[in-house]
Amino acid sequence: MSSIAKAGLVVAGTLAALAIGGVVYVGSGIYNIGADDHHTKIVLALIEQLRERSIGVRARTTHAPNLEDPTRIVAGARHYAALCVGCHLAPGVTKSDIRPGLYPHPPNLAQEDIRDAQRAFWTVKHGIKMSAMPAWGKTLDDAAIWDVVAFVRQMPGMTPETYQQLSTGHSG
Ligand code: HEC
């Protein structure tokens, strides 16, 4: 047998062993899928890379409207207060009953600087599998999702008073 053929056999054997190992590992039920336990490092790294690439590739195809439009921001604040605050918090809202048990942990959008609006739009519209992040595109149309994105971008640095005014529509 040529050395190339031998090398091919070794590679094929290794791949087969890995595949069988994977099936046995999954089948054994050893992996804890409970949300009160963390992923192992390797599973987390895989999932994060999968999420980053998947969203990165898909988000490029959308075009953002004017996100500085005040009517958009106000409309977005109402949606946010109704649909998102429990998981993602807001200025002056520092905890909720649902957050401690969520894994992956939802980012605190009152503090996170959402620079990439297209990415945020895609994530809000389509959600993220195996996380608590819903696909809001089933509930909101694209215009309403852009409203929410416009609002979310304003949150870091917003005072609790401004958040109250915007989200309830009451001034003062
Ligand atoms: C039931 C909880 C839950 C609700 C409600 C929810 N989210 Fe999320 N959201 C999550 C989780 C969990 C993640 C993180 C997923 C991950 O890391 O894979 C997330 C991720 C995101 C991200 C990505 C942030 C980043 O750093 O890339 C955005 C943006 C977002 N959510 C916006 C919203 C908006 C806007 C709403 C309301 C319309 C909303 N979410 C409602 C749980 C929630």
For residue 135, report the distance from its CA to the centre of ligand 1, in Å: 9
Q: Give the pLDDT of residue 171.
A: 58
Q: Give the pLDDT of residue 155.
A: 96
Question: Is the Cβ atom of 124 under 6 angstroms away from ligand 1?
Answer: yes
Q: Which atom of ligand 1 is nearest to the CA of 149?
A: 35
Q: Give the pLDDT of residue 61.
A: 82
Question: Is the Cβ atom of 128 under 6 angstroms away from ligand 1?
Answer: yes
Per-domain residue ranges of the chain:
1-31, 41-168
Question: Is the Cβ atom of 120 under 6 angstroms away from ligand 1?
Answer: yes
48 vs 159: CA distance, rounded Å: 32
Model confidence pLDDT, tens digit, residues 45-90: 999 999 999 999 999 888 899 999 999 999 999 999 999 999 999 9
Question: Is the Cβ atom of 148 under 6 angstroms away from ligand 1?
Answer: yes
Does residue 106 have a cis bond before it (omega within 30 degrees)? no
Model confidence pLDDT, tens digit, residues 118-135: 999 999 999 999 999 999
Whether residue 172 is predicted with pLDDT greater than 60 in this model: the reply is: no
Amino acid at residue number 154 = Q
Closest to 80 measured CA to CA, from 150, 1, 8? 150
* pLDDT confidence band for 1 (50 / 70 / 90): confident
CATH of 41-168, one of 1.10.10.10, 1.10.760.10, 3.30.1740.10, 3.40.605.10: 1.10.760.10
Model confidence pLDDT, tens digit, residues 134-149: 999 999 999 999 999 9
* Structure tokens belonging to residue 156: 């870091």
Strand (E) or helix (H) holding 44? helix 41-59
For residue 127, report the distance from its CA to the centre of ligand 1, in Å: 7
Q: What is the pTM of this model?
A: 0.91
Question: Is the Cβ atom of 76 under 6 angstroms away from ligand 1?
Answer: no
Q: Give the pLDDT of residue 169.
A: 77
Q: What is the 3-state secondary structure (H, E, C) of 51-104?
A: HHHHHHHHHCCCCCCCCCCHHHHHHHHHHHHHHCHHHHCECCECCCCCHHHCCC
Amino acid at residue number 103 = Y
Question: Is the Cβ atom of 121 under 6 angstroms away from ligand 1?
Answer: no
